Chains A and B, each alone.
Chain A
Amino acid sequence: MALLKSNKVIYCLGNISPALGVLSTRNSSWWGGVQMGPPDPILGVSEAFKKDTNPKKMNLGVGAYRDDMGKPFVLSCVRKAEAIITTKQMDKEYLGIGGLGEFSKSCAELALGAGSEVMKSGRYITVQTISGTGSLRIGANFLSRFHGGPRDVYLPKPSWGNHTPIFRDAGMELKAYKYYDPSTCGFDFKGALDDISKMPEQSVIMLHACAHNPTGVDPKQEQWKEISDIVKKKNLLVFFDMAYQGFASGDIDRDAWAVRYFIEQGHNILLSQSFAKNMGLYGERVGGFTVVCNDAEEAKRVESQLKILIRPIYSNPPMNGARIAATILNTPDLRSLWLEEVHGMANRIIKMREQLADGLKKEGSSRNWQHVIDQIGMFCFTGLKPEQVERLTKEFSVYMTKDGRISMAGVTSGNVGYLAHGIHAVTK
């Protein structure tokens, strides 16, 4: 341990760095120039909510499902899977860089469908990722390193807030295409097609597979077909974000329709999947990233490069959640139970939408709240303006994001009346 007896290493701390002319001494910090980062717009809402002491407070910020008592919901199929796993007494050896094989396979199959030609031919690679965020980031890094086309990723306007910094941090540029029509609180189909037709060839276009976040506005199947056509004509690279399979309609096949249609139409897509919501595995960080390739040989090359990207981020992914998800997907009676429970969660949300729209009518609101019922999935784009949102939070302790998005999952039969009252109060 001779190194530790030397004083020379210590003295170097007092020197001036010639490159910068910055004097760093014991009395100053390396981090004097670090600015305070703004709180995360979505997760910051939960933190503000926690501090509020109003007993009627409602957290409609983050998209985490709640039961009708407003409590987090651990799915029975998850508890059963955990019990099975415990009895197996497995070791904790490192997974491969690409993660748990049985998980990746069933993850792909869930999205693409059991009979998928892509799966049969092996012309795809799916790696286990750190939930949806981790999947998007790996995809973004992959594009940044290997995509020969333009640097631009087109996001729908609006999109999940975290999409932009993820792609930016990976070195991509962000652009937008029209999506949400505030005058109808619905899909701006014509605007979307128009913008897509103007995208340069080989640009990357991000599509939300179902239950668009934050608006809840999804294209109809006929509209998806037209989108596919024009995307093909423009030779765009499609990146699907599917964080809510099962949650939108309650039916996992129906929710994956767009993804499967695009593949059938010949798009070799990129796909991010999350099991945070549909299996309630939020904190276990379970997700997948898939690249559909020309053939199995190309898939092997792509896989090797994904591993090179992953290794210097976190080496290999966490086992626990993937093991739970794989057990559920691959055990027939657990899988059936899961499908029932997802259906149940989606149904409760649909019911809450109806009750909220109803409640607003009862309050005497003259506004059109049809979009509350028409929108799909966990989120509702209320149409509230930032000032109205601020009032709703300040006066009623209803917490939501500034864009007017509410998580329907946080609404219960016990508080939907209070919510309707508050929304009416700030919009009348």
Chain B
Amino acid sequence: MSIFSEVPQAPPVAVFKLSADFREDGHPQKVNLGVGAYRTDECQPWVLPVVKKVERLIVEDGSLNHEYLPILGLPEFRSASSKVALGDESTAIKENRVGGVQALGGTGALRIGAEFLRRWYNGVNNTATPIYVSAPTWENHNSVFADAGFKDIRPYHYWDAANRGLDLAGLLDDLERRSLFVFFDSAYQGFASGDLDKDAWAIRYFVSEGFELFVAQSFSKNFGLYNERVGNLTVVARDGENLSRTLSQMEKIVRTTWSNPPSQGARIVSKTLNCPELFAEWKGNVKTMADRVLLMRDQLKAKLQAQGTPGTWDHITQQIGMFSFTGLNRECGDKFSHTHTHTHLHTHTHTHTHMLASGLLGLSFKG
């Protein structure tokens, strides 16, 4: 008799299963458009040149060791990360009301933020507080907030399927006349337009309008440091005193989750952001990635139009970042898989283009 005899088999996490299927597929022209990791024009992962340079510096630095970081993380990393998000001229930073919590990737930053909100926002341990997430959103957002204890996670209108763009009227309708705390998820700063400041515009605008807010930052994509788990939860508070109490409670949450964060990735990012030459080099690397994705958008749309593919494909170039919501549904996928033997969507085994069932397509593929 086992304690675990009643443990049910859980379904695999979709995006990881997709990558596993892709790995097993033997077809020479297989394409993986699932996971959000950048690829070069040769379909290869890309370690940023600035990252290679900085790693060498770290290895050669005999004074570095593997001691514990403080609970909230590497101080130089935290301040530099918040500065990247809020800008060099940030008044909030100058007013000492901005703090950071180094976290394990964007996911970790979201989770620490969610755990804090469940404990301290809208009362104490108020699990009934509604959490509004965009419809659709990254699927893990739902799990992060649910596992942090929130019982009421609701969608707000975002994606207009008919026009394949933003449903602004729906969004405003859902969010109007509500007192809302803003939690930004910034996983792609620099990756969207190629310009760090442009991509942070919304965050900086909200801060300038006086909002207190959280920003979950990820350096997985814009630094290509996916597996080192580098993230930062930026906290903007009304004043230093509120910030200080908030950070003290963040420490308690971190201590029972992972005690203190991993040092390697934070060192790489910190060294890069805090050194003007390396910072400039990094911005160049980011622009390289963003430009390639923009080029692929242009080329994909152009080829679809050249083929006379039915429908309009403007959304491919109007959308921004690593992903494209194609507008393809499961039926299209089925049809596609029957007529073309070398491309397929998620659940079919005899075709070889791997894409999520939602029609979400990763754009780091070969032109």
Contacts and interface: CB of A to CB of B under 8 A. Distances in A.
Interface of A: 1-4, 6, 8-10, 12-17, 19-20, 22, 24, 26, 28-37, 40, 43, 47, 62, 64, 72, 74, 78, 82-83, 86, 89, 91-97, 130-134, 137, 146-149, 162, 165-166, 168-169, 202, 237, 268, 276, 280-285, 291, 293-294, 298, 300-302, 304-305, 307-309, 311-321
B7 A298 contact: yes
B262 A283 contact: yes
Nearest to B223: A92
B217 to A, nearest CB: 14
A137 B229 CA distance: 18
B330 interface: no
Contacts of A3: 166, 168, 171
B12 A304 contact: yes
A146 B4 contact: yes
B143 interface: yes
26 contacts: A2-B166, A8-B172, A12-B177, A13-B180, A15-B177, A16-B179, A26-B210, A31-B238, A31-B242, A34-B120, A37-B248, A37-B249, A64-B67, A72-B66, A74-B65, A74-B66, A91-B47, A162-B256, A165-B256, A285-B261, A294-B4, A304-B12, A311-B140, A312-B111, A314-B105, A314-B107
Contacts of A202: 3
B162 interface: no
A165 B262 contact: no
Nearest to A15: B179
Contacts of A31: 120, 212, 237-238, 242, 245-246
A35 B245 contact: yes
Contact of B144 (A146, A283, A293, A312): A312
Nearest to A204: B3
A149 B225 contact: no
The 9 residue pairs across chains A and B that have the minimum distance between CB atoms: A314-B104, A29-B238, A312-B143, A37-B248, A133-B259, A283-B263, A319-B227, A130-B258, A320-B264
Given A43-B260, A165-B256, 4 more contacts: A37-B245, A43-B71, A318-B265, A321-B66
A298 B5 contact: yes
B279 interface: no
A298 B229 contact: no
B66 A93 contact: no
Contacts of A19: 122
A305 B7 contact: yes
Interface of B: 2-13, 16, 35, 37, 44-47, 51-52, 55-56, 59, 65-71, 103-105, 107-108, 111, 120-124, 140, 143-144, 146-147, 166, 168, 171-172, 175-181, 201-202, 205, 209-212, 220, 224-229, 237-239, 242, 244-246, 248-249, 251-253, 255-265
Contact of B67 (A10, A82, A282): A282
Contacts of A72: 65-67
Given A133-B259, A137-B258, A20 B123 contact: yes
Given A34-B246, A92-B45, A308 B264 contact: no
A47 B251 CA distance: 14
Contacts of A293: 2, 4
A316 B124 CA distance: 30
Contact of B4 (A30, A302, A309): A302
Contact of B146 (A1, A6, A280, A312): A312
Interface core residue of A8, A14, A30 (most chain B CB under 10 Å): A30
A91 B257 CA distance: 27
A53 to B, nearest CB: 20
Contacts, number: 272
B180 A12 contact: yes
B252 to A, nearest CB: 5
Nearest to B243: A31
Contact of B2 (A83, A86, A268): A268
A318 B35 contact: no
A10 B209 CA distance: 8
A285 B104 CA distance: 11
A320 B242 CA distance: 35
**Chain B: interface secondary structure?**
loop
Nearest to B2: A294
Contacts of A30: 121, 181, 212, 238
B140 A312 contact: yes
B2 A298 contact: yes
Nearest to B175: A9
Contacts of A147: 3
Contacts of B12: 304, 307
Contacts of A130: 104, 257-259, 262
B316 to A, nearest CB: 18
A94 B227 contact: yes
Nearest to A164: B256
A12 B175 contact: yes
B253 to A, nearest CB: 8
Contacts of A33: 120, 124
A113 B253 CA distance: 35
Contacts of A312: 107, 111, 140, 143-144, 146-147
B16 A96 contact: yes
Contacts of A131: 258-259
Contacts of B2: 268, 293-294, 298
A238 to B, nearest CB: 10
A285 B74 CA distance: 14
Given A92-B228, A304-B12, A320 B172 contact: no
A101 B305 CA distance: 45
A314 B147 CA distance: 12
Contacts of B144: 312
Contacts of B202: 4
B7 A40 contact: no
A83 B71 CA distance: 28
A320 B226 contact: no
A307 B10 contact: yes
A375 B47 CA distance: 48
Nearest to B20: A96
A355 B107 CA distance: 48
Contacts of B35: 94
Contacts of A78: 66
A43 B4 CA distance: 36
B201 to A, nearest CB: 7
B146 A148 contact: no
A12 B246 contact: no
B264 A40 contact: no
A46 to B, nearest CB: 9
B257 A283 contact: no
A93 B45 contact: yes
Given A29-B242, A305-B7, A97 B176 contact: no
B227 A316 contact: yes
Given A131-B258, A298-B7, A311-B143, A36 B45 contact: no
